[in-house]
Amino acid sequence: MTVKVDAPVVSASIKSPSLQICDLTSRGPIEYESGLELQEQTHLRVSSGLSPSELILLEHESIFTAGKRTESHERPLTGARVIDVNRGGKITWHGPGQIVGYPIIKLGNPAELLGYVRTLEAALIAVLGHFSITGRCIKGRSGVWIDGQRKIAAIGIRVAQGVTMHGFALNVNCDLSNYQEIIPCGISDGSVTSMKLELGREIEVGEVLPLLKNEMNAALSPLIALRESSTLPTRSDLL
């Protein structure tokens, strides 16, 4: 299945250059390969100067994906399907109830990758704070953690031609049993959690999305290369 590119776009009007946001969550879970194809198409347009930087938001159908540093013993023992991808990090799971964000951004300083990752983490921590969930970073480990033991958001990125790919996954109300088949992110001395589990109540993806968009827009827009023209066509202009 190929994802069409006629999704609604929300553009930030406060700063220039600004981050476009393509929200596909209303379409339901999307096959990972289709999401990857959309990423690659968007990356090509942004790196070629044909489109402005963009954040793609979606949910995936259930799938394991393995980054370049994944070791064989970290993969599912059940023989479940795993897609190997060209991002950093190790193996993780994606599926319904998890918001996946793919920032396709022309970075003003492509060499400052750690700063980019920390920016993503800070934005996710701010989102959690709106729900009175205290997230933290842990030295030597990417992503966002609760009490230093439970991982609630994963991050894995790639940068090519100064433009980012892949991104983050925030567990909202997903089925955490999927993580039992793997050693998530290669970390054996920690566990995985969700906003639903931490809150002790039901929570829907739609409840989180507006806050996530606002925080990501505020955090990522300043990182966009100043040479990126604010007059570039948006996604809908390219149809």
Active site residue 22: no
Distance CA 10, CA 17 (A): 14
Cβ atoms of 18 and 232 closer than 8 Å: no
Residue with tokens 């159908």: 61
Tell me which residue of 217, 93, 92, 193 sits closest to 133, measured CA to CA. 193
Among candidate residues 22, 137, 174, 185, the one labeled active-site is: 185
With vertex at residue 118, the alpha carbon angle to CA 115 and CA 122, rounded to the nearest 5 degrees, is 135
Point out the residues that are catalytic: 185
